[in-house]
Structure 1
Amino acid sequence: MLTGLWWYKSRFIRPFSETTAVFSGQQLRLPDNLAGTGAIRFVHFWDPNCPCNVGNQQHLAEMLEHYAGEVEFYHLQKPGSNGQLPKALRSMQHLNELPGSQHLPASPAVAIWDRSGQLAYFGPYSEGAVCNSSNSFIDPILDALIDNRPVTAANTLAVGCFCDWQ
């Protein structure tokens, strides 16, 4: 039993350093071909070398399925990094760049634009070491935007599992 616990701990439990990140969306913009009115647009910022991505991948796959047809999903990979999204996330459209993303403090992160093209949310998926539907900031925001309720949360402060974007 102790061997099993040691194996699980060494393979799946990573040290969690409480990192505080300030997400400010003032300079973040959609590319010209996506800007303006249209669908709700969701951009996932990720670094394939960041172990913190593992914590939100299942939740992100669930959101892709749940919000299909109502939200357009995109992803932006950290410049200069190499890797591929897991198979369950490959339906997301790839962005080569996003104006203002060079100011992203950390990843994984998400930016959501409403139907009018206004940035509604910019920040982490949740607080803490992992993200799932029970502690996510994102699901209530998407639900509000789908119901045409306004959301303004483009500047956030969070403590969680993050990796530097710079």
Structure 2
Amino acid sequence: MKKSLVFVWLTLLLLCIGSLFWYNEWVYNLPTAIPDNYRPVAFGTKIDNRLVTQTNNNILFLHFFNPDCPCSRFNMRYFKSLVSNFEGRVNFAIVVLNNKKYSAQQIQHKYDLQIPVYFDSTIAANCGVYSTPQAAIIDKNGELYYRGNYNRTRYCSDKKTNYAEIALQALLSNRTPIQFSPLALKAYGCSLPNCTQLQNDE
């Protein structure tokens, strides 16, 4: 009798865990709702990035990050690999989008990244970003080359859909223009500024 109860209890527990995992996967695979006041920013738009220090006239890669967003946290290891692989040819910066108080030193120390960290939400608005994690790539002329997702999966496990990396490599190789997949450009993840995920009605 006891063995049967334990078996039933374990089965129910596994079902609950599986259901929770499935629900989280389903929720974070929905497009992020477009804010009512959203202003689209077209590729090729000159970006006002006076608040972001751009040295050596390099390409600028902006990582839009919310420490409370699960998708952002899952994505950080992959972002760090991009910094490691392209540092020296590309300037990287993190733009933290969160209502809580963090310092640049906290972010740099926690994720072991010695790159600039900014907290200005107008940078996101200027690039047309309304969710995290998102990447924006600004070319040497200060124009928006790419704004979109890192990968089709939130764990960045599908190398064929490393959209931001593909865009970065294309820009470094002067392969322009490049046609981006709709999956690369439709925002997924957590809406700003709080860690929420609402389905787009479109």
TM superposition score category, shorter chain reference? 0.7 to 0.9
**TM superposition shift of 1:158:** 2.6
Distance 1:151 1:62, change over 3 A: farther
Amino-acid identity (%): 21
Letter in 1 for 2:30: T
Structure with greater helix percent: 2
What is the TM-score of this pair, normalised by structure 1? 0.75
Name the larger-Rg structure: 2
**TM superposition shift of 1:150:** 2.4
Alignment counterpart, residue 94 of structure 1, candidates 102, 117, 123 = 117
Between the aligned partners of 1:133 and 1:30, the Cα distance in structure 2 is 33
Letter in 1 for 2:162: S
In the alignment, what sits opposite 1:163?
190
Alignment counterpart, residue 141 of structure 1, candidates 164, 167, 188 = 167
8 Å CA contact retained: 1:42, 1:113: yes
* Counterpart check, 1:107 vs 2:132: yes
Alignment counterpart, residue 55 of structure 1, candidates 74, 78, 99 = 74
Number of equivalenced pairs: 160
Distance 1:131 1:70, change over 3 A: same
Letter in 2 for 1:165: L
Distance 1:132 1:151, change over 3 A: farther
Structure with greater strand percent: 1
What is the TM-score of this pair, normalised by structure 2? 0.63
Gaps of 5+ in 1: none
Higher relative contact order (CA 8 A, sep 6+): 1
Between the aligned partners of 2:163 and 2:91, the Cα distance in structure 1 is 18
Letter in 1 for 2:166: P
Q: CA RMSD in A?
A: 3.5
